[in-house]
């Protein structure tokens, strides 16, 4: 990146400014917004998308995309709920869901590498297969019998902080470290900008691709257990459309679908902008129809502004 000009710095600030502005605007517009209870609700409501979006950031930086994560939430939710219902305990169920997500992600990555098909197509196919299999193994029925106590994963507190927020914080720091301080992170940026050069420079492209999709899958598996905890059932239809919300979070936060751009902080801001819009609209009595219109407009505005900034640069 080198030294940033003042203009470059300003450009990078606008998602944060929008989030701050939204926060202030909602504090003024609704007396119920700035309460501990409501803010803790917002973090619980956005944690699932946020955690998936962390992995999506890595995938998008590498120039890829993954459309199967929404379906994966449903599949991992079924598996994790079944493990819980069999009495295997919370750690094992989290491990099972994360491991299952990791395997599906690795399979997507492997197919992309071996068949040399674009990630969009591979993961589009995986989306159908994973959702279909979730419905097949569950016969379309929710998995019930989750023992009491599991609701703490989504609804509980660690000290004063909601458990999902603590999970998100740890995973965000880990993803930031991965992107900034590890070979895989630097390779991810390099892969998108010039894959041939990266290959000649000795980047193991295939291994990197498989790892990147596996990491996203693992994070999606973990996120699915927060969803499961909030529903207290395993739902084969859970997570419908989450892939698009995760991609939107990355893009609003400054990620580029051409790869090479994106940060953890930006993605978190993007996800919280969408979360606050939904929360604020609910608090102010705006219907869920208008929420969709608003969020759609924000996505276009964010990307439009980004393109305009690049053309001027």
Partner 1 sequence: MVSTRLTLTKRLTGLFALTVTAAIAILAGCSKQQGRVVAVVPKGQAHVFWQAVHSGAVKAGKEFNITIEWNGPANEVEYSQQIEIVENFINRHVDGIMLAPSERKAMVGVIDKASKAGIPVVIFDSGADTENYASFVATDNYAGGVLAAKRMGELLHGKGQVAVIATIPGGASTLAREAGFEETLAKEFPEIKVVAKQFGMADYARSLQVTEDILTANPGLNGLFASNESSSVGAAQALKARSLVGKLPLVGFDASPALQEDLKNGVFDSLVVQNPYKMGYEGVKAMSEIFAGRKPARHIDSGVALVKKDDLSKPDVQALLNPPLVF
Residues that bind partner 1 (CB under 8 A): 6-7, 10, 14, 17-18, 21-22, 25, 28-30, 32, 35, 37-38, 41, 45, 48, 139-142, 144, 151, 155, 227, 230-233, 235, 237-238, 240, 277-290, 292, 294, 301, 305, 312
* Closest separation in Å from C-beta 14 to partner 1: 6
> Whose Cβ is closer to partner 1: residue 29's or residue 121's?
29
> Whose Cβ is closer to partner 1: residue 160's or residue 202's?
160
> Whose Cβ is closer to partner 1: residue 102's or residue 143's?
143
> Whose Cβ is closer to partner 1: residue 140's or residue 177's?
140
| 8 Å CB contact between 203 and 191 | yes
- How far is the CA of 84 from the CAs of 69, 190, 221, 233, in angstroms? 22, 41, 14, 10
* Closest separation in Å from C-beta 49 to partner 1: 10
Tell me the backbone φ, ψ of residue 161, rounded to 5 degrees.
-105, 140
Query: Could you tell me which of 16, 39, 29 has the C-alpha nearest to residue 275?
Result: 39
* Closest separation in Å from C-beta 101 to partner 1: 18
* Closest separation in Å from C-beta 184 to partner 1: 32
**Kind plus residue range of the DSSP H or E element containing 134:** helix 119-138
- How far is the CA of 246 from the CAs of 58, 113, 208, 239, 253, in angstroms? 12, 23, 21, 11, 11
Q: Annotate 178-209 with b (16+ C-beta within 10 A) or e (fewer).
A: bbeeeebbebbbbbbeeeeebeeeebebeebb
* Closest separation in Å from C-beta 27 to partner 1: 11
> Whose Cβ is closer to partner 1: residue 130's or residue 175's?
130
DSSP letter for each residue of 165-179: HHHHHHHHHHHHHHH
* Closest separation in Å from C-beta 88 to partner 1: 20
105 CB-near residues (< 8 Å, 6+ apart): 66, 72, 213, 214, 215, 216, 217, 218, 220
Pairing of strands 157-158, 161-162: antiparallel
> Whose Cβ is closer to partner 1: residue 250's or residue 276's?
276
> Whose Cβ is closer to partner 1: residue 80's or residue 259's?
80
* Closest separation in Å from C-beta 256 to partner 1: 19
């Amino acid at each position: 990146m080198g030294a940033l000009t003042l203009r470059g710095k300003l450009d990078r600030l606008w998602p944060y400014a929008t989030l701050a502005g939204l926060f202030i605007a909602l504090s003024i517009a609704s007396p119920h917004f700035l309460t501990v209870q409501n803010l803790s609700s917002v973090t619980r409501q956005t944690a699932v998308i946020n955690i998936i979006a962390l992995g999506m950031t890595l995938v998008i930086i590498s120039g890829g995309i993954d459309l199967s994560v929404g379906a994966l939430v449903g599949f991992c939710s079924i598996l994790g709920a079944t493990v819980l219902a069999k009495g295997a305990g919370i750690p094992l169920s989290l491990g099972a869901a994360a491991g299952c997500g990791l395997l599906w992600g690795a399979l997507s990555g492997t197919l992309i590498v071996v068949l040399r098909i674009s990630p969009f197509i591979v993961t589009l196919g995986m989306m159908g297969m994973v959702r279909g299999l979730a419905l097949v193994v569950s016969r379309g029925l929710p998995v019930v019998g989750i023992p009491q106590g599991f609701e703490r994963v989504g609804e509980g507190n660690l000290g004063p902080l909601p458990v999902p927020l603590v999970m998100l914080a740890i995973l965000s720091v880990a993803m930031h470290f991965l992107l900034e301080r590890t070979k895989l992170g630097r390779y991810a940026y390099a892969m998108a900008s010039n894959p041939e050069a990266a290959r000649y420079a000795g980047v193991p492209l295939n291994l990197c691709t498989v790892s990147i999709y596996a990491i996203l899958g693992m994070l999606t598996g973990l996120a699915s257990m927060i969803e499961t905890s909030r529903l207290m059932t395993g739902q084969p239809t859970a997570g419908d459309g989450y892939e698009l919300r995760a991609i939107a979070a990355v893009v609003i936060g400054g990620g580029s679908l051409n790869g090479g751009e994106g940060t953890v902080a930006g993605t978190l801001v993007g996800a919280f902008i969408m979360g606050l819009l939904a929360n604020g609209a609910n608090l102010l009595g705006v219907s869920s129809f208008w929420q969709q219109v608003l969020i759609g407009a924000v996505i276009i505005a964010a990307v439009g502004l980004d393109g305009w900034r690049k053309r001027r640069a």
